[in-house]
């Protein structure tokens, strides 16, 4: 049976697709997912909304002794979003934290602080307007007045710069040193203009050359070798069937195929097919903070597994200027306060209840015990059970009591979200807390050999061992919460039961749930900063 768009949600067709999958029982497992507009309060502050966080052993040729961290901010950027595009918040501190010893407290923080400037010593570009003898110098309304390239940036009317501090110990009280620019010898770095369009930058190739000129070699105090940094606009690397997923999973959430037989290896008639058009972010950009550092600078005295997450902080008080200017639209004061947090993605969207989402955004990993019930007794599986149980039972002629896993507490989710997996990405000291965990001792897999399914795809350098841009991350959010880890998964090519729960605990744990939006490493670059060139505001 095949489904058309019009008939996709006809009950009988849904049940046929899901029931066929249940009976066949394919095994497949993937990664976690992303965080765009994940909490009520952060939707009001998009400049400090973290969308994705990545940490991985660098896979650029010759960089095997480095770790790359990428924190993306400002979600859902339309490339044509002028005239002011997407600058960072100069009042905010954007942080990447590393826990080297497993106590769920940061040992190292890279803190990024931004400044905005107009041309001509902050007065802006002026044009002489009016008749001869009575011309007036009038400022222009655009961020540039002509073409821009890597060798000619004189037409820019607006620029951003940033500085980077390294904080050893607690982010509020630790010892601070400043990262220096090895090209200039100073403490300041520049951020490229967003990709305004192909009249400003001529072509995508010209923008790539321009943006690459903002990749800097950096000197980090105490590190044996220089690192690298880039901050600028990129194509949003995350893929997701966003609108339909949050519309009560408004599609048949199993791997589909156009073939007439359910025995076809490509998938199941009636399920959703893998199609790039299912990616609602395919026309969106994002702003990336990317830093690459020598591995020995971030491992500390632990077992080589590090935990990491990104946060953004704002001053507690903001008083709006009733006569706002470019220099002073407001006055900020008070202690820096965390308003955004992201480690393993989709935790806040699909695990934390809406009443606690803002609390999670402001919480520290050491205090994640307050959110334990959302992991041990998650709501999402029960929501999927409510949506699909009757349909499945009708088609099977069965009386399955539930589609949701029944192992409580959910030890499988505790390992996935809070502790890491022994022998892969678990730190020497295990403190249950939400973060990405990377085993720096596992060599990076070259881009051409990476599996989008990470560790279960026989690729130990991928998720859940950190997260790479090409690790497919939505399907696992559906599969793991529905009990995939209760069934054997392919590890190093062999079906392996992790011992966290049993197959009978998860009636649909071996179903290939998916949102139908494919992702792989070939969609990215194989050199720092790895994420693809942003989309142009005009072709």
pLDDT at 1 over 90: no
* Residue 157: predicted pLDDT: 95
> Nearest 5°: CA angle at 154, between 153 and 159?
65
Give the other-Cβ count within 10 Å of 275's Cβ. 12
Question: What's the CA gap between 534 and 516, in Å, rounded?
Answer: 23
Q: How far apart are CA 518 and CA 356, in angstroms?
A: 31
Considering the chain, what percentage of its residues have pLDDT values greater than 90? 68
Residue with tokens 């505790």: 414
Give one DSSP letter per residue of 497-525, joined into a string.
Answer: --SSS-GGG-TTTTS-B--S----GGGS-
Least confident of 264-268, 407-411, 448-452, 521-525: 264-268
Q: What pLDDT does 5 receive?
A: 26
Label residue 268 by pLDDT band (50, 70, 90). Answer: low
Higher local confidence (pLDDT), 484 or 431 = 431
463-481 burial string, b = 16+ CB within 10 Å, else e? bbbbbbbbbbbbbbbbbbb
Q: Round to whole Å and give the CA distance between 425 and 57.
A: 13
Q: What is the mean pLDDT of residues 247-252?
A: 83
The model's pLDDT over 54-83, given as tens digits with 9 standing for 90+, comes to 999 999 999 999 999 999 999 999 999 999
Q: How far is residue 284's CA from residue 304's CA, in Å, rounded to a whole number?
A: 36
pLDDT averaged over every residue in the chain: 87
Residue-level pLDDT at 250? 86
DSSP 255: B
Sort strands 180-181 and 189-191 into parallel, antiparallel or unpaired.
Answer: unpaired
Q: What's the pLDDT at 147? A: 95
CA 426 – CA 7 distance, rounded (Å): 46
pLDDT for 269: 56
pLDDT, tens digit, for every residue of 328-355?
999 999 999 999 999 987 787 778 889 9
What is residue 158's three-state secondary structure?
A: strand
> In terms of C-beta density within 10 A (0-12 exposed, 13-18 middle, 19 or more buried), how is residue 112 classed?
buried
Identify the weakest region by mean pLDDT among 196-205, 340-349, 400-409. Answer: 340-349
Tokens of 419: 């502790």
Q: What is the pLDDT of residue 479?
A: 81
pLDDT number for residue 257: 65
Q: What is the mean pLDDT of residues 282-288?
A: 96
Q: How far, in Å, are 226, 406, 432 from residue 420 at the CA level?
A: 30, 21, 9
129 by DSSP, 3-state: which? strand
Q: What is the mean pLDDT of the segment spanning 377-398?
A: 86
* pLDDT per position as a tens digit, 157-188: 999 999 999 999 999 999 999 999 998 999 99
d(CA 125, CA 491): 60
Please report which confidence band the pLDDT of residue 112 belongs to, taking 50, 70 and 90 as the band edges.
very high
Residue 423 or residue 443, greater confidence: 443
Which two tokens mark 56?
């991985």
| 0.85 surpassed by pTM | yes
- Establish whether the linkage from the previous residue to 374 is cis, with ω within 30° of 0: no
Cβ–Cβ contacts within 10 Å for residue 276, how many? 12
pLDDT at 429 over 80: yes
Query: Does the N-terminal peptide bond of residue 237 adopt cis geometry, omega within 30 degrees of 0?
Result: no
- Calpha distance 345→364 (Å, rounded): 16
Q: Is the pLDDT of residue 262 over 80?
A: no
**Please, which residues bridge with residue 320 across strands?**
330
pLDDT at 29: 30
pLDDT band at 9 (very low <50, low <70, confident <90, very high): very low
pLDDT at 265: 43
Other CB atoms within 10 Å distance of the CB of residue 450: 25
Residue 35 has a pLDDT of 58
Q: Cis peptide before 416, with omega less than 30 degrees from 0?
A: no
Residue 475: its pLDDT value, please?
Answer: 77
What percent of the chain clears pLDDT 70, i.e. is strictly above it? 90
Residues counted in the chain: 539
Query: Which stretches within 444-486 are classed as H helix?
Result: 475-481
Alpha-carbon distance 324 to 330, whole Å?
Answer: 7
């Amino acid at each position: 049976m095949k489904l058309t768009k019009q008939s996709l949600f006809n009950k009988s067709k849904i049940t046929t697709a899901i029931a066929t999958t249940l009976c066949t029982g394919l095994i497949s497992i993937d990664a976690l997912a992303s965080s765009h507009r994940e909490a009520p309060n952060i939707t009001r502050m998009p400049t400090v909304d973290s969308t994705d966080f990545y940490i991985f052993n660098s896979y650029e040729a010759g960089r095997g002794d480095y770790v790359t961290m990428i924190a993306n901010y400002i979600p859902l950027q339309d490339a044509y979003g002028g005239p002011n595009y997407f600058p960072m918040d100069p009042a905010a501190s954007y942080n990447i934290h590393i826990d080297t010893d497993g106590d769920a407290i940061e040992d190292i923080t890279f803190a990024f602080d931004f400044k905005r400037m107009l041309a001509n010593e902050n007065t802006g570009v002026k044009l002489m307007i009016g008749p001869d003898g009575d011309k007036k110098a009038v400022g222009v309304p655009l961020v540039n007045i002509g073409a821009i390239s890597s060798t000619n940036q004189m037409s820019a009317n607006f620029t951003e710069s940033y500085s980077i501090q390294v904080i050893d110990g607690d982010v509020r009280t630790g010892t601070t040193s400043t990262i220096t620019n090895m090209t200039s010898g100073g403490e300041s770095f520049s951020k490229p203009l967003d990709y305004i369009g192909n009249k400003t930058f001529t072509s995508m190739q010209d923008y790539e050359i321009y943006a690459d000129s903002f990749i800097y070699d950096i000197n980090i105090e105490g590190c044996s070798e220089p690192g690298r940094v880039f901050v600028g606009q990129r194509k949003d690397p995350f893929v997701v069937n966003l609108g339909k997923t949050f519309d009560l999973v408004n599609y048949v959430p199993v791997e589909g195929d156009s073939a007439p037989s359910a025995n076809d290896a490509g998938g199941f008639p009636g399920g959703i097919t893998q199609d790039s058009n299912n990616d609602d972010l395919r026309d969106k950009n994002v702003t990336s903070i990317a830093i690459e550092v020598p591995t020995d600078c971030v491992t500390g005295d632990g077992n080589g597994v590090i935990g990491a997450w990104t946060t953004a902080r704002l001053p507690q008080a903001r008083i709006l200027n009733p006569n706002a200017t470019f220099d002073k639209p407001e006055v900020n004061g008070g202690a820096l306060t965390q308003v955004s947090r992201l480690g393993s993605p989709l935790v806040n969207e699909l695990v934390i209840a809406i009443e606690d989402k803002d609390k999670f955004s402001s919480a520290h990993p050491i205090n994640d015990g307050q959110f334990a019930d959302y992991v041990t007794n998650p709501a999402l599986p029960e929501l999927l059970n409510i949506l699909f149980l009757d349909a499945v039972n009708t088609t099977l002629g069965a009386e399955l009591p539930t589609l949701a896993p029944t192992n409580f507490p959910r030890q499988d989710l505790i390992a996935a979200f809070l502790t890491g997996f022994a022998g892969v990405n678990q730190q020497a000291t295990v403190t249950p807390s939400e973060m990405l965990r990377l085993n720096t001792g596992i060599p990076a897999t070259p881009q051409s050999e990476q599996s989008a399914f990470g560790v279960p795809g026989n690729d130990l350098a991928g998720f859940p061992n950190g997260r790479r841009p090409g690790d497919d991350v939505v399907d696992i959010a559906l599969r793991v919460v529905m009990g995939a880890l209760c069934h054997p998964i392919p590890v190093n090519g062999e079906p392996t039961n992790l011992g966290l729960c049993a197959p009978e605990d998860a009636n649909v744990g071996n179903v290939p749930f998916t949102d139908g939006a494919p992702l792989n490493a070939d969609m990215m670059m194989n050199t720092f900063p790895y994420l693809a060139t942003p989309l142009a505001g005009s072709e």
